[in-house]
Amino acid sequence: MTATIIDGKAFAATVREKVATHVARLKDEHGITPGLAVVLVGEDPASQVYVRSKGKQTVEAGMKSVEHKLPADTSEAHLLALIDELNNDSSIHGILVQLPLPKHLNEDLVINAINPAKDVDGFHISNVGLLGTGQKSMVPCTPLGCLMMLRDHHGSLSGLDAVVIGRSNIVGKPMAQLLLGDSCTVTIAHSRTKDLPDVVRRADIVVAAVGRPQMVPGDWIKPGATVIDVGINRIDAGAGKTRLVGDVEFDSASRVAGAITPVPGGVGPMTIACLLANTVTACCRMHGLAEPEGLTA
């Protein structure tokens, strides 16, 4: 079997198009421009790249983009004051604090200071609770992107066996909640799971979110299963070069799976697209307007 490649890049483009269409309608019919504020503390190079990319795509979708770049030694009080200001700014519908924060800042405290209605990353404890109890919430972008691709590929996910490898608050746990919400039978595997290959072999859907290059080989995959590879790992490619690989051994897995996301070009592009989708959703909810279809869980 040769797997269907789930093209996250192309899918993300369709999500961004839907967002842009809805943004245009909000402007034309209601005079509202959704606004996203991104806060970056410090000079982590990877975070700077993400923030630049988020700002660019926000503007391309027709939305207002605001960036706050603060020095690495910013005090917690200063950061909390900025969040308070953004919470009270009616032109801002989404607030994202780029993680990780410098060590002297308490991430939980900072994230939980964001108005949950503007928490477009879906990390606020209220949104975590709402998602866990199957209520309307802001859903973390990466798992939301994975869910969209799975729904698009399968139609209904009801009754499928899903294994999520990784139990982080950012990817693994919300991913498992979303799959449960779509009536999958869900197993969360992690670093202490006994006989991981056997657990993975039972799955119709495998979501790998570990951060270990190519740790899932093809012979762990049930023939015909759908594989969503969240991992982004940079490895040595020889001759002083590096390349990106996922948590799944793509070549062997794509010979067994029914469908698979590549790295790069799979889950990655969906994450920012879902951030834009969450910003429009937050804006619509704040104004009591109809939400765009197909852009939420």
Question: Min. distance of Cβ 211 from ligand NAD in angstroms?
Answer: 3
Return d(Cα 34, Cα 93) in angstroms, integer.
6
Find out whether 173 and 188 touch, Cβ atoms under 8 Å.
yes
Q: Has 54 been annotated as catalytic?
A: yes
Question: Min. distance of Cβ 73 from ligand NAD in angstroms?
Answer: 25
Nearer to ligand NAD, 185 or 193 (CB): 193
Q: Which residues pair with 171 in a beta bridge?
A: none
Find out whether 287 and 30 touch, Cβ atoms under 8 Å.
yes
Q: Which residues pair with 69 in a beta bridge?
A: 40
Q: Which of 18, 57, 118, 121 is catalytic?
A: 121
CA angle 274/90/36 to nearest 5° reads 25
Q: Which of 18, 57, 98, 247 is catalytic?
A: 98
Q: Has 118 been annotated as catalytic?
A: no
Find out whether 85 and 101 touch, Cβ atoms under 8 Å.
no
Residue 246 contacts by C-beta under 8 Å, 6 or more apart in sequence? 208, 213, 214, 229, 230, 231, 232, 233, 261, 262, 263, 266
User: Which positions lie near ligand NAD, rule CB under 6 A?
Assistant: 142, 165-168, 170-172, 189-191, 193, 196, 209-212, 230-233, 267-268, 271
Question: Min. distance of Cβ 194 from ligand NAD in angstroms?
Answer: 11
Find out whether 195 and 230 touch, Cβ atoms under 8 Å.
no
Residue 280 contacts by C-beta under 8 Å, 6 or more apart in sequence? 19, 22, 23, 26, 34, 63, 291, 292, 295
Residue 146 corresponds to which tokens in the numbers above? 């994975």
Nearer to ligand NAD, 25 or 151 (CB): 151
Nearer to ligand NAD, 166 or 258 (CB): 166
Question: Min. distance of Cβ 215 from ligand NAD in angstroms?
Answer: 6
Nearer to ligand NAD, 268 or 292 (CB): 268
Question: Min. distance of Cβ 140 from ligand NAD in angstroms?
Answer: 9
Q: Which of 54, 118, 173, 222 is catalytic?
A: 54
Q: Has 98 been annotated as catalytic?
A: yes
Nearer to ligand NAD, 202 or 212 (CB): 212
Would you please indicate which residues are annotated as catalytic (active-site) residues?
Answer: 54, 98, 121
